[in-house]
Structure 1
């Protein structure tokens, strides 16, 4: 653990300017994304697009705040912590491995004893060669194990908007890929949302809207570490050029991290 701290302090000491430059560049990119999302939200008349733009604004401001926090941490380490800290005292000494060389002790084996060989008679040879039949235990056929009933199918009324993975009632953890199909004759965009419980009253967009149709591929990725464990519902919405959409596809999952 101490070696990791020493490594981080060494990186801050040698590459302070580059760290500031990288963090400032990330802040500029997120500021540009925030301005673009704010412009899109003010120019659109559709509620769905305003919700997506507001989500982009919040994500950009979160990233800007995190980068500013990292700049404060780098400044504190550089100008306040490291001048009063002796890094050499933190380095853990490398233990020296000493191998003991075993001493070989010669062993004296037992004195061989002469054994007289006895030639067996024909009757004895026949008795020794006659095989004996060994009966094994009776075999029993294994009983078939009961099979669990398959989970109910996902609720996907529109065949152009389907989630195929994860399946209905699946237990997931970590970062998962949501696979399926999102197509329409007058396709505009699609979005994947999640809500708490089996009948959510509020939906949250995962990442962003997508303006390219998908046929049996990855729709988006979902990091379940960002939400508590429990039952959630995924929802796929395919929006057409008139900003209308058919009934969405819904899949219930169980998050267990």
Structure 2
């Protein structure tokens, strides 16, 4: 279905031109039939009426085709959601081999030394400083009202570097898939795809985002959860800062 829609949109201009060319003879026949209906002869009047009906049917059919192409191009094609195919990662199994180590030689007996009792000085007590607890920065959660489309880490205005673990929830009715996207706030930018997940997640690890290739600056990161029909609720977005 998607391939057919794209094919129609691709050749929409050519279809419009063809419909316009075919419409010209129908309009000419329509005008001539209208003039012939003024004839005083009943037989010519009847033939003109038939040709008038045929012309109207042809005009209506061509206008319907052109209208259908316009509707598909303007309303149907934009709603098609591109589903990024992501390769399924095959887990690798690491086999650990024990490295043999040399057995230590038995300890050599040493002669006992009888200690001489000596008077030990009494230690002077010293005041020890109590450690000061460093406050842990509080994570500010983004304002995402849908509990099934939520990011809990990273928080708002978090400073990111390296590989970032994305935690939250991606679980809605008739679940299809979820994806990560980001957009630079430093320049005029579009959304860039990061990752697509095919399993619903409830309050867990959604995936990872490597920010090393990106230049430092402010970004907008969002989670989009799509159902099986291609529809999706409002995404959950969080503003972050990348530093290297």
Normalising by structure 2, what TM-score?
0.44
Structure having the larger proportion of residues in helix: 1
Q: Looking at CA atoms only, which structure, 1 or 2, has the larger radius of gyration?
A: 2
